[in-house]
Structure 1
Amino acid sequence: MAKLTPMMQQYLSIKEENQDAILFFRLGDFYEMFNEDAKIVAKELELTLTARNKGKGQPTPMAGVPYHSAESYISQLIEKGYRVAICEQVEDPSEAKGIVKREVVRVITPGTVINNKILKDKDNNYLVSLVGSKDGYGFSFVDISTGEFGLTQIDGQDSIDKVIDEISRINPAEVIIDETISSSKRIMNFIKSNITSIITDIEESFNYDRAYELLTDSLETMSLDGFGCEGLNIGIEAAGAIIDFLNKTQKRSLSHINSLLTYSTLDYMVMDANTRRNLELVKTMRDKRKKGSLLWVIDKTVTAMGGRMLKKWLEQPLLDVKEINKRLDSVEEISKNILLKEELRDLLDQVYDIERLIGKVVYGSANGRDLIALKNSLIILPKLKEVLEQFSTPKLKDLKESLDNLEDVTALIESSIQEEPPTTITEGGLIKEGYNEELDKYLDAMNNGKDWIVGLQKQERARTGISSLKVGHNKVHGYYIEVTKANLDAVPEDYVRKQTLSNSERYITPELKEKESLIFEAQEKSVDLEYKIFLEVRKRVGKEIDRIQGSAQGLAQLDGLISLAEVALNNNYKKPIVDNGGTIKIEGGRHPVVEETIEEEVFVPNDTYLDGEGSRFSIITGPNMSGKSTYMRQVALITLLAQIGSFVPASKAQIGIVDRIFTRVGASDDLSTGQSTFMVEMNEVANILNNASDKSLVILDEVGRGTSTYDGLSIAWAVIEYISDKEKIGAKSLFATHYHELTELEDNLPGVKNYNVAVKEEGEDVVFLRKIVPGGADQSYGIEVAKRAGVPYQVIERSKEILARLEEGEERTLQLAKEDSFVEKKVEKDPSKVKESPAQLPLFSEPNDEVVEELLELDIMSMNPLEAMNALHQLQQKAKNR
């Protein structure tokens, strides 16, 4: 260190304290990076890598960016998963004795971003803290851009599963963990594989007492009683760890984080990470995009705040019937008043992101344009309240009351800040004339001086007779009088030469110099004063944060409700009946996403009936690609939509409150833990069997297909018995399978019903009707699906041959031979174990008089398609059982 320059010694000293971040070191008009930081930045940002002290044998790698454009470079690094420490000059270089003092003023991490260029308008940017102990887990989250701050405490037998579920729901950009969490392979694998690799360790010495003190200091309270978290010691520890992290990285006031939401995971419908993924609530499984998800369908919000609020509703469906019906009643009233709805939408469309704007104000990063955007948003509040006066439902009346007109804040910004201010706050042009008397004097002096200078050119041309004389200005020499060399003989004696050019001379006069000094002095003083005035105005606006945040919350909820009404009208959704009855009855239900994405087909609606008694478990059979998975998912999505207070895609629906939705739909190898497809599937099934209740909705698709036929069938059979048993679980369930043997359970297990997807055979072709009808399926039509997938004709024909022989009761093994690619070898089989396919009827059988008579009596022309299919199915069953 002794051999280094004082500046490099200072750099290395500061870098030593910020080893996990790229250090942006301010040198004049640039931020410079050195050593490994320089190499990383040069590679990631495609900058030129240079070197310091090239000629002294040990060159230091170096890269830099201009300070005025640093924000875009920092954004790129944050998006790539780096932390950036901003090191500024904290004293005036002209007053410094020796090297200028520098300090890290902020550490920017993925979880502490406030830059709008990085943040997505309708997504929160969460920082999460996790703490573990023998009593359970503490979970806390914060969005520094909006001030949202919450905690919960998770305990019980399945506490790790619940922690993972919460991490999945919040989807943080960054996670803070303690030693207990870091030693949990399940939690750490989930975070690293599915969420983020940006993980920070909490100091071992951090404890509950320190956390409590940090929280009360930050929230400016004597205790935490008012936030409902007293006694939740591990939760408090997690929340305190977040505040500690923010204090160390942000190094400034965080007064917009002024409330703490204490919640329980039992307050909302529980959905594990698999269910959220399988139902594609906020993003698709394949490409992780919003388009194609349920949120994509229902999000018609016009404000960023409303978009974030609607997403929260979707991820936390309600369990309280009263609250659900308050939302439903509001959506209904809005949808019935289309003109008022459009008026509200037009007004909301003029509102900027108030939550993040006030966050920037309090944080100290808001500029003049941010204040104008805030003012233009607050101006809309009185107009919105006027429109809301015309609604009568309790929820909308409450929202109207939650909106504060904030006319004092609007008036303050209106009177002080220019309508089109510059982006910077240190170069003047911010404050309106008439707001501050002292500033007006400076501005008047500047304007009068400039007016005098404008008139000087005319005056001097008349006095000297030089028509080409000009009065000009530049940053180096200030104001001057320019005379071409052809007119130098006419220059007055009081002109003082200032600069010589090739074709002209530039002069000043004592009077011009005096005016210039007055202008420059007034300009310098006005710029300094404008900066001080702006900071004062911003501080005064920030003091009203509680009122502003309250109104922002009201606007977000209103936008969310209007969005649901808009979707209900556009997509023909109906208001569901939501109660605690435990029955799910859907007539003409549709899949909300599929019906919006199919183009050439018309979506076929289906009915559903599930209860806790005689129809609690539905076994659904039918071919692949026939619509079983779509049907089951739509039941889950309709239930979920009803419980967020949305109308649903159905002609009629009655939804009994569901405490949890479980899905096991498809699986793949989990490479991160080395688990096979079947192991992943069994883990998901185990989670359902251990956590489902009689108030849950369970969606199971092809359980057991990942292993041998007999193993898979046995597991599926046992799972159905266990879930359908009221003494064990008794959950409302939909179970899709290709094991036709399972349809026999309808006659043996109470509450189990068979359904299948109707199929129409036209010669050798098969048409999937997408209609769910009572009874089990006769065939799998796997060969038909293979044909549609483009399997070669020869393979299809050979498959039909083999299938026909297998259905005759012969079991064969196939082996490859030189003379023939398919050689058959018969194997003896115990006749007692041969079961004829129920789909095969003898070609020449005795007529079934009863079936024929019933068939002749049917009035086909008066039946609808569903009635006809039901009747045909009943006749077919009678014919099989003759």
Structure 2
Amino acid sequence: MSSYSESNPNPNIGTSDSPHTDYRHLEAKKLTPMYQHYVEVKEQYPNTLLVYRVGDFFECFFQDAVTISQELELHLTSKEGGKEIGRVAMTGVPHHALDRYSRLLVEKGYAVAICDQVEDSAQAAAQGRMVERKITKLLTPGTLTDDGMLSAKQNNYLAAIVITGEHWGLAYADISTGEFFTTQCQDLTNLNLELLRLQPAEILIPTNAPDINSLLRPGEKSQYLADVLPDCFCYSLRSQSPFTLNEAKSKLLITFHLRSLEGLGCENSPLAIRAAGGLLDYIEDTQKAHQFPLQLLRTYSQVNFLILDYQTRRNLEITQTVRDGSFHGSLLWALDRTCTAMGGRALRRWLLEPLLNIKGIVARQNTIEQLIENPSLRQDIRQLLRSIYDLERISGRVGAGTANARDLLSLAESLVKLKELAELASQGDSPYLKALQNVPPDLEKLGQYVIDHLVESPPLHLKDGGVIRDGINGDLDAMRQRLEDDRQWLANLEITERERTGVTNLKVGYNKTFGYYLSMPRSKAEQAPENYVRK
């Protein structure tokens, strides 16, 4: 991020040629109410890029505007900040394009705080006050959940590490799928190899640094990072408090409603507990109103799979080629013929952590053998899998309350097909095919229930309405009928008023300020009846 001195050498000049870029040099009381609120929010999230909803745009001001204009190659402009202040640097993007621009910023290693309007602007205007805004989402590289920001066939891991001497604890989770793992080991070289295997999008580091809660982008150095850690990742410096053993253990017990950690397998792994608890605290802090549910924490050991060092992984070209580091031409590229995003992610994990257990290896081989020897079964399963959506990520959005109607329908359509998948799998007897045969009946009932209640083509946004089928709820049907009657009444009103006034292009319109109104050309104003009130 560009420093203040580079972007605006004279902070006391707020002209159109040199707008203010640092709010710290300004008196808050002299700023307009909106800028005062922006500054208040910014001070709560000093290490993020703050995007602030203003009408149909998300705007950035001061230094954040300079940074975003440089990183995204957007036009840097300015806006009046107050009578005694002058102009303030500003950059904005349309609200409907926020996801795309946010993704670009996060890919560059920035954290983005989204301050959105949380009430109807017309209601605030009617009461003569500024519309209420709050931080609704905090985007960091490891906490992305929207499909548009994620790679379908690759996990987006958030990791946390706690190091004590040569011993270390590691926890990692994919918020979008709910996976949550932890481990404890010794030798920092093994930690390095594990991080390179996982390729986490963001790594949490507990520290006593004065500037905690800051995000270090790949390649940025810090005296608070261990020299052994790879510098190719984003690191978030966090307070030590959530990573203390008591705090972390309490967080895990409360989150998963447990009395003991013994069943999780990490009861005697204090560093693993500290890493997992600190990671949970960070997720709660960043997800705000929408908490994505995680699966029950699973403890694993590195002895369960073959550890591949960086050079071996590179030479084998498992996920990228040696020549130019591209996916095209790698081993995964050659093998991946999966039909679902879930299968693509699973295949990637399998290649990066080869099994050492003979029983597990044989189970996979037997499954592949049976599918090769029965091509019709293989083709039938593949055909069915093509119609099954990403259950892991859709379930995560449903659990967090961020799913839309189309997500619900995709989930339901996938659930009702699990029974058919189980019937196909019953033709085989390998462990993996047997596992597919066990489908809880409640899942099929849930899927059919949702399908029976939703329309065939629901709208993208719930606020658009028209999601529930007719005949499901009598009260809803009655309200819809009244709404249709109102529409018909308005249509008839337009016709009758045209006839009464003789103005053929008279129209019934609507806006948030006046509500419904009648409009006619200014040239026909003398034809308006006496009971019309001009606005």
Matches within 5 A, 1:536-615: none
Tell me the equivalent position of 2:39: 12
Alignment partner for residue 139 of structure 1, among 147, 170, 189?
170
Alignment partner for residue 144 of structure 2, among 95, 99, 113?
113
Partner deviation per Cα, 1:703-756 (whole Å, 9 max, x = no partner): xxxxxxxxxxxxxxxxxxxxxxxxxxxxxxxxxxxxxxxxxxxxxxxxxxxxxx
Tell me the equivalent position of 2:108: 80
Structure 1 Cα separation of the partners of residues 458 and 48 of structure 2? 34
1:175/1:200 contact within 8 Å kept: yes
2:177/2:393 contact within 8 Å kept: yes
Structure 1 Cα separation of the partners of residues 374 and 238 of structure 2? 53
Per the alignment, do residues 424 and 11 of structure 1 end up closer, same or farther by CA in structure 2, a change over 3 Å counting? Answer: same
Tell me the equivalent position of 1:70: 98
Per the alignment, do residues 412 and 509 of structure 1 end up closer, same or farther by CA in structure 2, a change over 3 Å counting? Answer: farther
Per the alignment, do residues 97 and 215 of structure 1 end up closer, same or farther by CA in structure 2, a change over 3 Å counting? Answer: farther
Residue identity opposite 1:330 in structure 2: T
1:86/1:106 contact within 8 Å kept: yes
Residue identity opposite 1:88 in structure 2: D
How big is the shift at 1:148?
0.7
Q: Secondary structure at the match of 2:204?
A: strand
Alignment partner for residue 443 of structure 1, among 480, 485, 499?
480
Q: Secondary structure at the match of 2:29?
A: coil
Asked if 1:254 is matched to 2:318, the reply is no
Q: Secondary structure at the match of 1:187?
A: coil
How big is the shift at 1:298?
1.4
Tell me the equivalent position of 1:173: 201
Per the alignment, do residues 350 and 499 of structure 1 end up closer, same or farther by CA in structure 2, a change over 3 Å counting? Answer: same
Structure 1 Cα separation of the partners of residues 486 and 527 of structure 2? 20
Structure 2 Cα separation of the partners of residues 429 and 507 of structure 1? 37
Structure 2 Cα separation of the partners of residues 256 and 44 of structure 1? 33
Per the alignment, do residues 507 and 69 of structure 1 end up closer, same or farther by CA in structure 2, a change over 3 Å counting? Answer: farther
Per the alignment, do residues 455 and 60 of structure 1 end up closer, same or farther by CA in structure 2, a change over 3 Å counting? Answer: closer
Tell me the equivalent position of 2:87: 59
Structure 2: unaligned runs, 5 residues or longer:
1-27, 209-221
Asked if 1:299 is matched to 2:326, the reply is no
1:385/1:403 contact within 8 Å kept: no
Structure 2 Cα separation of the partners of residues 440 and 97 of structure 1? 37
Structure 2 Cα separation of the partners of residues 403 and 46 of structure 1? 52
Alignment partner for residue 235 of structure 2, among 175, 199, 207?
199
Tell me the equivalent position of 1:432: 469
Matches within 5 A, 1:13-28: 13-28=40-55
Matches within 5 A, 1:753-832: none
Among the aligned pairs, what percent are the same residue? 36
2:31/2:85 contact within 8 Å kept: no
Per the alignment, do residues 42 and 135 of structure 1 end up closer, same or farther by CA in structure 2, a change over 3 Å counting? Answer: closer
1:132/1:178 contact within 8 Å kept: no
Residue identity opposite 2:461 in structure 1: T
Structure 2 Cα separation of the partners of residues 184 and 228 of structure 1? 29
Asked if 1:388 is matched to 2:435, the reply is no
Residue identity opposite 1:187 in structure 2: V
Structure 2 Cα separation of the partners of residues 450 and 92 of structure 1? 23
How big is the shift at 1:103?
2.7
Residue identity opposite 1:203 in structure 2: S
Structure 1 Cα separation of the partners of residues 57 and 468 of structure 2? 29
Partner deviation per Cα, 1:377-411 (whole Å, 9 max, x = no partner): 22321211121122223331122115666123213
Tell me the equivalent position of 2:509: 474
Q: Secondary structure at the match of 1:247?
A: helix
1:352/1:374 contact within 8 Å kept: yes
Alignment partner for residue 327 of structure 1, among 358, 364, 383?
364
Per the alignment, do residues 289 and 403 of structure 1 end up closer, same or farther by CA in structure 2, a change over 3 Å counting? Answer: farther
How big is the shift at 1:144?
0.9
Alignment partner for residue 229 of structure 1, among 245, 256, 266?
266
Larger displacement relative to structure 2 (167-176 or 377-386): 377-386
Structure 2 Cα separation of the partners of residues 26 and 76 of structure 1? 19
Structure 2 Cα separation of the partners of residues 224 and 253 of structure 1? 26
The structure with more radius of gyration: 1
How big is the shift at 1:331?
1.0
2:388/2:413 contact within 8 Å kept: yes
How big is the shift at 1:449?
3.4
Structure 2 Cα separation of the partners of residues 471 and 437 of structure 1? 37
Q: Secondary structure at the match of 1:178?
A: strand
Partner deviation per Cα, 1:47-92 (whole Å, 9 max, x = no partner): 3222222775642111222323322221221122211011133455
How big is the shift at 1:505?
8.5
Residue identity opposite 1:475 in structure 2: Y
Alignment partner for residue 340 of structure 1, among 359, 363, 377?
377
Structure 1 Cα separation of the partners of residues 131 and 266 of structure 2? 46
Residue identity opposite 1:170 in structure 2: L
Larger displacement relative to structure 2 (259-268 or 359-368): 359-368
Per the alignment, do residues 422 and 471 of structure 1 end up closer, same or farther by CA in structure 2, a change over 3 Å counting? Answer: farther
Alignment partner for residue 416 of structure 2, among 363, 375, 379?
379
Residue identity opposite 1:373 in structure 2: S
Tell me the equivalent position of 1:715: none
Asked if 1:153 is matched to 2:188, the reply is no
Q: Secondary structure at the match of 1:62?
A: strand
How big is the shift at 1:256?
2.0
Residue identity opposite 1:499 in structure 2: M
Alignment partner for residue 316 of structure 1, among 344, 353, 358?
353
Tell me the equivalent position of 2:30: 3
Structure 2 Cα separation of the partners of residues 75 and 434 of structure 1? 41
Tell me the equivalent position of 2:190: 162
Q: Name the TM-score, length of structure 2 as normaliser.
A: 0.83
Partner deviation per Cα, 1:349-399 (whole Å, 9 max, x = no partner): 111111111111222321122222222222321211121122223331122
Task: Calculate the aligned-residue CA RMSD, in Å.
Answer: 3.1
Larger displacement relative to structure 2 (429-438 or 206-215): 429-438
Q: Secondary structure at the match of 2:116?
A: strand
How big is the shift at 1:220?
2.4
How big is the shift at 1:100?
4.3
Q: Name the TM-score, length of structure 1 as normaliser.
A: 0.51
Alignment partner for residue 32 of structure 1, among 47, 59, 73?
59
Per the alignment, do residues 135 and 219 of structure 1 end up closer, same or farther by CA in structure 2, a change over 3 Å counting? Answer: farther
How big is the shift at 1:243?
0.8
1:218/1:258 contact within 8 Å kept: no
Tell me the equivalent position of 1:413: 450
Residue identity opposite 2:58 in structure 1: Y
Structure 1: unaligned runs, 5 residues or longer:
482-497, 511-882
Residue identity opposite 1:10 in structure 2: H
Structure 1 Cα separation of the partners of residues 336 and 350 of structure 2? 11
Structure 2 Cα separation of the partners of residues 440 and 64 of structure 1? 42
Q: Secondary structure at the match of 2:347?
A: helix
Residue identity opposite 2:256 in structure 1: L
Tell me the equivalent position of 1:351: 388
2:30/2:85 contact within 8 Å kept: no
Tell me the equivalent position of 1:628: none
Q: Secondary structure at the match of 1:10?
A: helix
Structure 2 Cα separation of the partners of residues 65 and 104 of structure 1? 17
Matches within 5 A, 1:720-739: none
Q: Secondary structure at the match of 2:101?
A: helix
Alignment partner for residue 117 of structure 2, among 89, 93, 98?
89
Structure 2 Cα separation of the partners of residues 505 and 377 of structure 1? 62
Structure 1 Cα separation of the partners of residues 507 and 283 of structure 2? 51
Structure 2 Cα separation of the partners of residues 140 and 18 of structure 1? 25
Residue identity opposite 1:337 in structure 2: N
Partner deviation per Cα, 1:824-875 (whole Å, 9 max, x = no partner): xxxxxxxxxxxxxxxxxxxxxxxxxxxxxxxxxxxxxxxxxxxxxxxxxxxx
2:290/2:402 contact within 8 Å kept: no
**What number of residue pairs does the alignment pair up?**
486
How big is the shift at 1:412?
3.2
Per the alignment, do residues 252 and 460 of structure 1 end up closer, same or farther by CA in structure 2, a change over 3 Å counting? Answer: closer
Partner deviation per Cα, 1:413-445 (whole Å, 9 max, x = no partner): 223333222222223233322233222111111
1:106/1:251 contact within 8 Å kept: yes
2:106/2:141 contact within 8 Å kept: yes
